[in-house]
Chains A and B, each alone.
Chain A
Amino acid sequence: MVMSAASPGVLWHTKRALSNLAFGFAVFVIVSPAILVMLWMLSLSLKNEVDNMAYPPVFVPSPPTLANFEAVFVNSNLMRYLVNSLLVTGGATLVAILVGVPAGYGIAKASAHRTAICILIARITPALSYLIPLYMLFQMLGLTGSLWSIFITHLVITIPIFVYVMIGFFESLPPDLEEAALIDGCTLWQAFRHVALPLARPGIVVAMILSIIFSWNNFVFGAVLGGRQTRTLPAAVYNMLTFEQVAWGPLAAAALLVTAPVLILTLFIQKEIVGGLTAGGVKGG
């Protein structure tokens, strides 16, 4: 009696343990490609050139060296490109806040989805298709090679992200408070400015993060429009590949420096990012 009561129990526990183990293994398998590429980038950036060129490859840097990072800062104009990237990304995000948040509000309130589609088309169009005419225009205006031209093109990335995230956000806000404000005699602008806007702060944060990341990551605008002094970071890192001899350590160090801020931002605020991305399925340029 005791045996027959116990044996299905044991069987059930073993089965459960096995299925948990299999599940854990599946999770391990699907997250490992992301981890392995990042770790290999880190490993390359911390090894000296002899170890980087060794075969079979050296996996763990021993001892780790910061020489590659030093080399990047000394040999290339990295600080300059960092400032360029900060100016372009910061400026394009700032303008997107100023025009994108009210636009998201207006479109959500007017349920003007046709207007929204106009802005969505920016998401569908290949970046190169507006890069060519804008390049010609900037040339006529004498703006090629200036940060202004890169900043203007980055608006194509940041404004649609803001409009999309904010439409979703304002549609989910209950309209009662603004209606009360309108009844009390507020203008539409006042209702937006003093009632809806303070409530929208979480949505603005999400849109800001996504807009910063996708503008920061953009390569082709900076590569085509940027001059020697006005490249953004991704374009500068690509240039290291073409002009320097194969030096893997500094290259990996530069790649890591460019992408690290984005990765750290993602890890810290993944919940907000996941919320924002699933809401709109947005992705930059």
Chain B
Amino acid sequence: MTAKSTAMDRGYGRNYLPFAYPALLITGAVIVFPWLFTLFMSVHEWKIGSPRAFVGLNNYARLAGDERFIESIGTTLYFTLLSVVLPVVLGTACALIFNERFPLRGLCRAIFILPMMATPVAIALVWKMMFHPQLGVLNYLLSLAGLPPSLWHTSLDTVIPTLVMVEVWHWTPLVMLIVLGGLAAAPTEPYESARLDGANPWQMFRYITLPLIMPFVVLAVVIRTIDALKAFDTIFVISEGGPGTASETINIYLYLQAFAFYNIGYASAIVVVFFVLIILMAMVLLWLRQKAKWS
């Protein structure tokens, strides 16, 4: 009895925390230090190769009047909205299909998740070749279907939908997996009683399945929102923010300010605003999720 209680004392939760110290130390060094340093840089006028000067909140004030930055916020939100809604709707539909039993399901699922594991830069290069307005295979396929050719990423009007299409291709599988996890955990009894009551498949989906998987769909929305806000590789390779600044999201503008114009201080101010925006979006979504749970 005494042996057991001392063993339990030793096994008390807090005593396990030292196990996490090395990881916390490293993530702290690689994450917390950069944050503090970013705040420090954001109040300085600092170009790589020239001495820094303290300018207070000047960089932030400049941001408020920077049309290119304001425009990039709009572009980011437009891109994010489409890159959340489409993968979530399609991914949920695909999860319903993969929840059924059918021959070769494992193989089909493996192929289906390939896009999310594939190297984004490599795939973006392939898409770029497929989008080529004159020689690309996609315009040829459109012509076979009797449709006019598209300018894809080379036109102001189609560049964002084009990039969204690639984003949908990449990340619908992740939504599918999250929702599939929810479907696998759903109980079967409600379906049996609904069938006895003569419910049709649509009613069963609307009133049983959808409420059951809703927490998972919301989780997918949160994850997709965060990822779409941060999207970089695909946009950078396919359109480089262009034509003009038509697909310049905050992340791309940030990259250009830091590593093309070397305005480190100004770029740091953008980082701070961008980070606040991401946290705000995540908090709004989590708040909506709480609210949905209570009602």
Contacts and interface: CB of A to CB of B under 8 A. Distances in A.
Contacts of A183: 3-4, 7
A179 interface: yes
A277 B137 contact: no
A73 interface: no
A67 interface: no
Contact of B102 (A23, A220, A254, A277): A23
B51 interface: no
Interface stretch (A5-13, A76-84, A150-158, A200-208): A150-158
A183 B4 CA distance: 6
A126 B230 contact: yes
Interface stretch (B53-61, B78-86, B202-210, B253-261): B253-261
Contact of A33 (B18, B33, B169): B169
A60 interface: no
B130 interface: yes
B34 A127 contact: no
Given A35-B111, A38-B114, A129-B38, A106 B16 contact: yes
B30 A134 contact: yes
Interface in B123-138: 123, 125-130, 134-135, 137
Q: What size tier do the contact residues of chain A reach?
A: 35 or more
**Max count, chain B CB within 10 A of own CB: residue among A35, A112, A281:** A281
A124 B283 CA distance: 12
B113 A124 contact: no
A30 B94 contact: yes
A41 B129 CA distance: 9
Interface in B102-155: 102, 106, 108-123, 125-130, 134-135, 137, 140
Contacts of A27: 97, 102, 108
A14 interface: no
B219 interface: yes
Interface string A9-36: 0000000000000011011001101110
Contacts of B111: 31, 34-35, 267
Interface residues of A, dominant DSSP? helix
B23 A103 contact: yes
Contact of A34 (B14, B114, B177, B255): B114
B38 A160 contact: no
A110 interface: yes
Interface string B29-42: 01101110110010
A56 B140 contact: yes
A124 B271 CA distance: 13
B72 interface: no
A163 B11 contact: no
Contacts of B13: 109-112
A128 to B, nearest CB: 5
A251 B17 contact: no
Interface in B247-286: 251, 254-255, 258-259, 264, 267-268, 271, 274-275, 278-279, 282
A269 B14 CA distance: 36
Given A31-B108, A129-B275, A237-B125, A156 B113 contact: no
Interface of B: 3-4, 7-8, 10-11, 13-20, 22-24, 26-27, 30-31, 33-35, 37-38, 41, 48, 94, 97, 100, 102, 106, 108-123, 125-130, 134-135, 137, 140, 169, 173-174, 177-178, 180-181, 219-220, 223, 226-227, 229-230, 232-233, 236-237, 251, 254-255, 258-259, 264, 267-268, 271, 274-275, 278-279, 282
- Kindly list the 7 A-B residue pairs having the minimum CB-CB distance in the complex, ordered from nearest: A106-B19, A103-B23, A255-B122, A133-B34, A278-B181, A270-B110, A133-B37
